[in-house]
Amino acid sequence: MLAITTICAALFALSGEANALEISPEAKHEVSFAYGSIGIDDPNWPVFAWGSKMGSAGVRVGVGFDKNLTALVGWHHSVLGGEVEFGRANQRGFEMALTTDQVFLGPKYAIPVTEWFAPYGTAQATVMRTRFRMDDDTKSDDNTNQYKNAAIAPGAVAAIGIEVVPMGYKNMPFRFATDLELGYAAVLPLQFEQSRHAGDPVELGDLDFGGFYLHWGAGVRF
């Protein structure tokens, strides 16, 4: 008898919990922390990072117009670096650092399949600014031996993704969410040049970002 009473009480509690887990009102807007990755094809890239991609982290904000269309704006930041040795074995040479900021802007169109799952597509314009530094102490901005240069280039991203927005409590003003998108990015070459007092600038080289693109985000919808 005691066992039956306990089971009934447990089922009653679970039923009450299920009723409490009602879907919160439709969430149109979004704020999330993001991780991103973009490809690069450059033989000297291993000086800064392993592989043929650059990872970054940032934030994304979306303003929803309805359940399908959202305007997105995002910012990603990346700091990479390495040490270059020359001469005798293990002789310290100089350090190189690459700091990159990237801004994204564009629409996202989602097709909700259920209350909590929606595939989507997005096309975004992007602007990338990269600052290159080289010296024996890249952590100091006042080092007289430091050489630094910067370049800016526009680009675009096209991707498809999925968004998962779990159920929220009835009175909760927001819902937690996560999204993952894969696609292709194209960015014009970042041209590094050295100005001169007379004549045209001297071209120092370039970086070609583009190819595989990944974005993963975790945040809230409200």
Q: What confidence score (pLDDT) does residue 84 get?
A: 59
8 A C-beta contact, residue 210 and residue 186: yes
Which tops the pLDDT comparison, 54 or 191? 54
Mark out the alpha helices in 30-161 (DSSP H runs): none
Q: Does the predicted model carry a pTM greater than 0.85?
A: no
> How many other C-beta atoms are found inside a 10 Å radius of the C-beta of residue 132?
20
In this prediction, residues 8-14 reach a mean pLDDT of 40
Amino acid code (one letter) for 179: D
pLDDT value at residue 139: 58
Q: pLDDT value at position 201?
A: 56
Kindly list the structural domains of the chain, giving each domain's residue range(s) and its CATH number in brackets, ordered by start.
Answer: 25-221 (2.40.160.20)
What integer pLDDT is reported at residue 188 of this predicted model?
Answer: 93
Task: Assess whether pLDDT exceeds 70 at residue 24.
Answer: no
